[in-house]
Amino acid sequence: MNEDQVYPPAPDFVHRAHVSGMDAYKALYEHARTQPEDFWRSLAEKELFWFEKWDHVFEWDPPRVKWFAGGKTNVCYNCVDRHAEGAREAKVAIQWIGEPGDERAITYRELLRMVSRFANVLKACGLAAGDRAVIYMPMVPEAAVAMLACARLGIVHSVVFGGFSSEALKARIQDLGAAVVLTADGGWRRGKEVRLKDAVDQALEDCPTVRDVIVLRRTESQVKMRDGRDHWWHELEAAASDDCPAEPLDAEHPLYVLYTSGTTGKPKGILHTTGGYLLQTTMSMKWVFDIRDEDVYWCTADIGWVTGHSYVVYGPLSAGATTVMYEGAPDYPAFDRWWRIVEKHRVSIFYSSPTAIRALIRQGDQWPNACDLSSLRLLGSVGEPINPAAWEWYYRVIGKGCCPIVDTWWQTETGSILIAAMPGAVPLKPGSATLPMPGILPEVIDFSGNPVPDGQEGFLIIDRPWPSMARTLWGDPQRYEDQYWRRVRGKYFTGDAARRDADGYYWILGRVDDVMNVSGHRLSTMEVESALVRHRAVAEAAVVGKPHEITGQAVCAFVTLKEGNWDHHRLGGELRQWVAKEIGAFARPEEIRFTEALPKTRSGKIMRRLLREIVTSHTVSGDVTTLEDLSVVTRLSSQPSDED
């Protein structure tokens, strides 16, 4: 597909959109650029409820920023209470679909009752503002209730994706010093039970800070309950009152910590706070998803990832929308599962990932074609660059040529969408995330920090702070500063490469650090390497992302072994399992290559660049599937390199 191909918004979409036409976008953008205080102040006043007004809109002392400091608000109040009376009280807040086919439609009024009761349960456990709760749950409404109940009281939550192993869970609980774990017996995935409580039990063998575990009954399978520590959710809830006022919290009160992969083996606990985060996630519901009261909005992300935080729970509920939650896999029991849900619930806005789209393309058009998708009016994409072929299929086969596709670029650290089209204003170019949101000033720079001319590739950085940006890394402010704010002083280093074209459109090219993107999930090469070297047979390991047709990248591990007589075939399988146990199944290497040595610089650093070249272009040594070829690479590595 031609990169210059442009899809202008359809006139009727423009006509009805929140931001209507390019001039409206430009006016917003200019207002935010030239008068940021005035811009964000007026939105905060208009869009959110505050118990008390702030002293300053923002205070910027790089890399420290405060938004609306002194102001008092509550994320849960904004997401639930303010919609639970009046016009939206009987509106469905959460439309939930379980994998086995059970369904629940929870109204805003009902959601307020559920959240208040559960907040009282947390209070009764002795939890208060500032304490930490780990949430390790399936995609059920109670997972959102748990998050909101924490937010109601100022308890800092950290959701751990249910696909993470007990080892990964343990590391996060320990890092946070969590007092409580909220979990379930299990959840359903492809017809099988994911046994969450068992994993919690294993993790807790080594987590002295955890006093209580609250267990939701979902699959009704047998679980062990430890006296004094473990409690059934429904039993505690039955005894709790419906009345629990939302705490007025400072705008900078921590809302949640979400762990994501960085460039070392240790995951980073990204910290988001209250007022600014909520304001920008709320605004992007209007700007990017053009949300209206009659919409049925579905973001397919799991609540274990940032997309599930900002665009399944907080953004849509703050905007008073109906948000769809689906528990299971897109291909269960068949490849039309998602499209059946769209048809039945008349979904109008659908937000998903390129990986999922590519996997569904492979199954053929007959699945979506057999469903009535006429309720759709807007499509979204996130997590990785969407290749033009997938874009085209999404546009034609799912959107029937009449739904704009918003390709949204952002990160766990950015909290909300920073680059994406406003669909009633910005003409689309397949493969480009298009233009920045108001208040966002991206730049593309070279190694020395100078801007590169349009059309050239460089590092993507963001000038100026924005309301929903991460405030720090939990327990490690120095790493936060070093990682994001040192390359160019006072500007945020994204870790992505990008190019801006002559129209000012941004084309995101992928990570420039040792972070892989597998199925839109961030995974650090070092994290997988540390897991591998913990195995008794492994001497050294180097991991790189290898291009993959469906998942974008796949994990490829180069491994040297300790002395011994190893059966490579068996060991390969064992190591893959080992990584699944240490991190989670999604981190399992697709390929393990045993080698005599790894290419290193003279200072002893593994030259992943060479390995990446081998798995990407096969140019370093032609056929590289055998051990011998790597000795070629080892020889190559004695030449000077920029990684030395």
Site residues, ligand WTA (CB under 6 A)? 260, 305-307, 382-385, 407-412, 433, 495-496, 508, 510-511, 517, 522
Q: Which is nearer to ligand WTA, 120 or 519 (CB)?
A: 519
Name the residue number minimizing CB distance to ligand WTA.
Answer: 412
DSSP state of 209: T
Whether residue 478 contacts residue 468, with contact meaning beta carbons closer than 8 Å, is answered with: no
Q: Which is nearer to ligand WTA, 39 or 311 (CB)?
A: 311
- We find the least distance from the C-beta atom of residue 535 to ligand WTA, in angstroms, to be 27
- We find the least distance from the C-beta atom of residue 458 to ligand WTA, in angstroms, to be 15
Verify cis geometry, omega within 30 degrees of 0, for the bond prior to 63. yes
Q: Which residues pair with 184 in a beta bridge?
A: 216
Tell me which residue of 378, 287, 282 sits closest to 9, measured CA to CA.
Answer: 378
The secondary structure of 162-182 as a DSSP string is: TTB-HHHHHHHHHHHT-SEEE
In the chain, helix, strand, coil percent, each to 5?
35, 25, 40
Say whether 319 sits in a helix, a strand or coil.
coil
DSSP state of 534: T
Whether residue 96 contacts residue 65, with contact meaning beta carbons closer than 8 Å, is answered with: no
Q: Which is nearer to ligand WTA, 513 or 574 (CB)?
A: 513
Chain centre distance of CA 323: 17
- We find the least distance from the C-beta atom of residue 160 to ligand WTA, in angstroms, to be 14
- We find the least distance from the C-beta atom of residue 215 to ligand WTA, in angstroms, to be 28
Taking only Cα atoms into account, the Rg of the chain, rounded to an integer number of angstroms, comes to 24
Torsion of CA 126, 129, 133, 135, to 10 degrees: 120
- We find the least distance from the C-beta atom of residue 431 to ligand WTA, in angstroms, to be 9
- We find the least distance from the C-beta atom of residue 166 to ligand WTA, in angstroms, to be 22
Torsion of CA 140, 135, 196, 336, to 10 degrees: 30
Q: Which is nearer to ligand WTA, 106 or 386 (CB)?
A: 386
Q: Which is nearer to ligand WTA, 29 or 506 (CB)?
A: 506
Phi, psi (deg, nearest 5) at residue 6 = -125, 135
- We find the least distance from the C-beta atom of residue 480 to ligand WTA, in angstroms, to be 15
Q: Which is nearer to ligand WTA, 178 or 523 (CB)?
A: 523
Q: Which is nearer to ligand WTA, 284 or 517 (CB)?
A: 517
Residue 636's alpha-carbon distances to 213, 391, 556, 598, 643, in angstroms, are 54, 39, 20, 11, 13
Q: Which is nearer to ligand WTA, 200 or 382 (CB)?
A: 382
Whether residue 313 contacts residue 303, with contact meaning beta carbons closer than 8 Å, is answered with: yes
Q: Which is nearer to ligand WTA, 315 or 385 (CB)?
A: 385
- We find the least distance from the C-beta atom of residue 390 to ligand WTA, in angstroms, to be 12
Tell me which residue of 390, 414, 99 sits closest to 280, measured CA to CA.
Answer: 414
- Please give the structure tokens belonging to residue 247: 């705490």
- We find the least distance from the C-beta atom of residue 23 to ligand WTA, in angstroms, to be 25
Q: Which is nearer to ligand WTA, 302 or 343 (CB)?
A: 302
Residue 69's alpha-carbon distances to 54, 276, 472, 490, 557, in angstroms, are 6, 10, 16, 20, 46
Q: Which is nearer to ligand WTA, 175 or 384 (CB)?
A: 384
Rounded Cα–Cα distance for residues 278 and 269 (Å): 19
- We find the least distance from the C-beta atom of residue 496 to ligand WTA, in angstroms, to be 5
Q: Which is nearer to ligand WTA, 20 or 387 (CB)?
A: 387
Whether residue 58 contacts residue 66, with contact meaning beta carbons closer than 8 Å, is answered with: yes
Say whether 61 sits in a helix, a strand or coil.
strand
Whether residue 286 contacts residue 18, with contact meaning beta carbons closer than 8 Å, is answered with: yes
**C-alpha angle 543/555/581, rounded to 5°?**
90
